[in-house]
């Protein structure tokens, strides 16, 4: 029995490495590789997409739902990343680049500034369809891809990339990464008296969609966010919420649009004084 599960695990790792290798040799301007997905991979995609779509109707923000409706990602089988990318580009100007795995934050952001998002093309292990420790294509396409089909979210991703490109100090870059985490990965908007998700980590996780309202949900404020730690490997115990897309754009969009090492240092110093 143990030998069987080791063989299955080895087969999964080999398949993932095979797909990652195609991305490894794919330059930024090369066409996204075509993958011949297996029946098992199509089944995982269909199962997870079906569950997520049902949750989105009650738990995702209006801007995300509208963008998802326009993008209309196929749910019955794994789409080709190239096709989804072309559709997003026609909607918001953003496109995908194939990534072998998680890319370093600065490289990831340099790409965002160029309106390109690094996406994986492999899927999570079929034995855990509702959990993945690392980003996979379900996270990247259903979570980020749907958001990037919205011009308003796409602008925020671009601004995050441009902010990171301006940052010289590691402290500034880490703070930009933290704001990205608590907004575009895990952010909430209050709509009609209820917390709704737009962050890619939450909207692509069936488990977290069922648990995010148990978190300590706080009004988004960059100075209070600065003193909160986070762990990307588990459900979030603290989340930040805005009252509207306008507020998100005013608070976070304006921050990313104007920040530099000096303004971030000043913000962190003020935050440390206030919360000492």
CB-nearer residue toward Fe ion: 44 or 99: 99
- Whole-angstrom distance, CA of residue 93 vs CA of residue 116: 9
Binding mask 146-185 for Fe ion (x = CB under 5 A): ----------------------------------------
CA distances from 272 to 93, 152, 162, 175, 266 (A): 39, 32, 26, 13, 10
| Residue-wise burial string across 180-196, b where 16 or more C-beta atoms lie within 10 A, e elsewhere | bbbbbbbbbbbeeeebb
CB-nearer residue toward Fe ion: 200 or 215: 200
Residue nearest to Fe ion (CB): 200
Beta carbons within 8 Å of 212's beta carbon, 6+ residues apart: 59, 188, 195, 197, 202, 235, 236, 239
CB-nearer residue toward Fe ion: 178 or 223: 178
Tell me how many degrees the CA angle 183-250-201 measures, rounded to the nearest 5.
10
* CB of 142 vs Fe ion, minimal distance in Å: 11
Interface region with Fe ion, contact rule CB under 5 A, candidates 10-18, 82-90, 192-200, 246-254: 192-200
* CB of 224 vs Fe ion, minimal distance in Å: 23
CB-nearer residue toward Fe ion: 84 or 200: 200
Beta-carbon-side half-sphere exposure of residue 261 (alpha carbons within 13 Å): 7
* CB of 53 vs Fe ion, minimal distance in Å: 19
Interface region with Fe ion, contact rule CB under 5 A, candidates 24-32, 90-98, 195-203, 219-227: 195-203
CB-nearer residue toward Fe ion: 92 or 132: 132
Interface region with Fe ion, contact rule CB under 5 A, candidates 7-15, 25-33, 198-206, 266-274: 198-206
* CB of 84 vs Fe ion, minimal distance in Å: 15
Are the CB atoms for 54 and 66 separated by under 8 Å? no
Interface region with Fe ion, contact rule CB under 5 A, candidates 101-109, 115-123, 152-160, 193-201: 193-201
CB-nearer residue toward Fe ion: 141 or 220: 141
CB-nearer residue toward Fe ion: 168 or 231: 231
Interface region with Fe ion, contact rule CB under 5 A, candidates 93-101, 196-204, 211-219, 229-237: 196-204
Which of 142, 200, 245, 264 is in the footprint of Fe ion by CB under 5 A?
200
* CB of 71 vs Fe ion, minimal distance in Å: 17
- Among 88, 86, 58, which Cα is nearest to 194's? 58
- Whole-angstrom distance, CA of residue 10 vs CA of residue 8: 5
Phi, psi (rounded to 5 degrees) for 33: -60, 145
- Whole-angstrom distance, CA of residue 68 vs CA of residue 29: 26
Tell me how many degrees the CA angle 120-124-125 measures, rounded to the nearest 5.
145
Residues that bind Fe ion (CB under 5 A): 200
């Amino acid at each position: 029995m143990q030998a069987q599960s080791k063989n299955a695990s080895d087969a999964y790792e080999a398949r993932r490495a095979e797909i990652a290798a195609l991305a490894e040799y794919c330059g930024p301007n090369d066409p996204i590789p075509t993958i011949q997905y297996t029946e098992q991979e199509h089944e995982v995609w269909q199962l997870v997409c079906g569950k997520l779509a049902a949750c989105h109707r009650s738990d995702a923000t209006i801007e995300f739902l509208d963008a998802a409706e326009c993008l209309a990602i196929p749910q019955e089988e794994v789409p080709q990343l190239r096709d989804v990318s072309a559709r997003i580009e026609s909607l918001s100007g953003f496109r995908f680049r194939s990534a072998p795995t998680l890319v370093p934050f600065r490289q990831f952001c340099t790409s965002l500034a160029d309106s390109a998002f690094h996406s994986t093309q492999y899927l999570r292990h079929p034995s855990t369809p509702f959990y993945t420790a690392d980003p996979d294509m379900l996270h990247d396409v259903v979570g980020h891809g749907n958001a990037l089909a919205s011009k308003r979210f796409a602008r925020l991703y671009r601004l995050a990339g441009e902010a990171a490109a301006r940052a010289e100090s590691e402290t500034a870059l880490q703070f930009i990464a933290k704001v990205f985490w608590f907004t575009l990965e895990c952010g909430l908007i209050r709509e009609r008296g209820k917390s709704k998700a737009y962050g890619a980590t939450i909207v692509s996780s069936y488990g977290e969609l069922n648990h995010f309202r148990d978190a300590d949900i706080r009004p988004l404020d960059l100075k209070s966010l600065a003193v909160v730690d986070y762990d990307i490997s588990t459900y979030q115990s603290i989340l930040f919420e805005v009252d509207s897309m306008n507020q998100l754009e005013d608070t976070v969009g304006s921050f990313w649009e104007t920040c530099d090492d000096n303004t971030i240092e000043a913000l962190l110093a003020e935050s440390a004084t206030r919360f000492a």
